[in-house]
Amino acid sequence: MKAFMDQDFLLNNETAKKLFHEYADRLPIIDYHCHLEAKDIYEDIHFDNITQVWLGGDHYKWRIMRANGIEEKYILGEASDEEKFLAWASTLQKLIGNPLYHFSHLELQRYFGVNVHLTEENAKEVYEKCNKVIKDYSARKLIEDSNVELLCTTDDPTSDLKYHKLLKEDSSFKVKVLPAFRPDKAINISKSSYKDYIKSLQECVGYELNSIEKLVKALKERIAYFAEMGCRTADHGLDFIPFIEVEEKEVANIYQKALQGISLSNSEAEKYMLYIMKVLAKEYSDKNWIMQLHYGAKRDNSTKNFNKFGPDTGFDAISDQTSTYKLNNFLNALQSEDILPKTIVYSLNPVDNASIVATIACFQESGVKAKIQQGSAWWFNDQKDGMIDQMKTLAGGGILANFVGMLTDSRSFLSYARHEYFRRILCNLVGEWVENGEYPNDEKLLKEIVEGVSYKNVKEYFEF
């Protein structure tokens, strides 16, 4: 029997152990998509206890606590931080086979020096030990101790990026913190908040957005500003990939209807979305940005809880309303107009893995290595089986060695342990192929593959 989460955790063959310990483990981290706040990093926030850094903002943990029957007062309610920690411990001990069990214990080991498994019985002792350690940590120290070289936050077009500028000027912090452009609110024309968002964008740019031409002008100006601040990527959280072709005149009419508060049909909303996405894609292409497309989530499913707690609090799920047919048409339209930027495609529905790999192969371009990428296993797939399935599917229909690898997609300063988790799984998968005689035991080639997927590919692809 193997020891619990020891140095060879998830490394089930000798080749895997060599690849991880000699090559992958030491590499820096480039986190090209996360939800940390630049303000928190600049102000170098501190934490009073482990609950604040461990459970605050982590909807993965909140939803699983609800599934264990934990009362809401111990999740987002008025209970003390210690009570919330104890409630989490009572849930964690049940999570056999759940990635949160591994993530949580990696974080306990790497940041707090806690090498026992957390249970109800030892929770109070662990809580006290972690709280002594957390006093020496801050947001910046957690990032630096995680060996992070660069991270990209997620920022609305209206953001002034004040804290990115301040971080850039702060020579005491060596980690690069770059913005990423996230224009979802400008694209989701059917949302009840759309009109209010257009008003906030107007205030940002300083002129009235009373026509589609003015809206396009405003978005281009914000992209230019983000580029000045070092931005290299745009991220889109889409329910689905839009594709209903439309003329500019019709889009102008759709936009005016939205400004007047007139309800739009689904097809009208999709036409608008496609038009704006094409405008943005051209800007990304011109600036050599990477376009990231996240789709396939069904968000805010519990109206009762959404009204009580708001978005991103644990009430999202996987949608089956995804369409690789539209993804193909969308990429083809951009390529036909020579405005297809480097693109990373993620679907929350794992059923899409094989079709995404087949699709991206159609739109690669000579002279650009892996221009169109399949993104890492995302959200509910961000666990061992999901990562293995994604990498095996990519290897089976594409080039795993060119993959840009892992990202945290997280609001937690502790989530960099997930990069280690990913690298262990990668090395074990590669090791299995080698030891099964499916790939040669060529140390030079294996080193290049593991280092590439773990770190070097993303640096080259994004041109950081």
* Domains of the chain listed by start with CATH number: 14-44+138-462 (3.20.20.140), 46-137 (1.10.2020.10)
- Is pTM, for the whole model, over 0.85? yes
Q: Which two tokens stand for residue 413?
A: 């300063």
Helices (H), 302-405: 303-309, 324-336, 353-361, 384-397
**Torsion from C-alpha of 240, 31, 431, 107, nearest 10 degrees:** -110
pLDDT for the residue 323: 80
With beta carbons less than 8 A apart as the criterion, state whether 396 and 388 touch: no
Burial 55-68 (b: 16+ CB within 10 A, else e): bebbbbbbbbbbee
Inter-residue contact 27 to 451 (CB < 8 Å): yes
Tokens of 122: 């030892």
Query: What pLDDT, on the 0 to 100 scale, is given for residue 123?
Result: 98
> Could you report how far apart the first and last alpha carbons of the chain are, in Å?
43
The answer to whether the CB of 31 falls within 8 A of the CB of 151 is yes
Q: Report mean pLDDT in 10-residue bins for the chain, 464 residues.
A: 96 98 97 98 97 93 97 96 98 97 98 97 98 96 98 98 98 97 98 96 98 98 98 96 92 97 96 98 98 95 93 93 90 98 97 97 96 97 97 98 97 96 98 98 98 98 96
Q: Strand 233-238 vs strand 290-295: parallel, antiparallel, or unpaired?
A: parallel
pLDDT at 321: 80
Q: What is the DSSP letter of 318?
A: E
Amino acid at 294: H
> 26: which 2 tokens?
């030491």
The one-character DSSP state at 155 is: B
The amino acid at residue 89 is: A
Query: Cα dist. 245→68, 144, 198, 241, 326 in Å?
Result: 47, 47, 23, 13, 11
What is the side-by-side strand order in the sheet with 148-152? Answer: 29-31, 148-152, 176-178
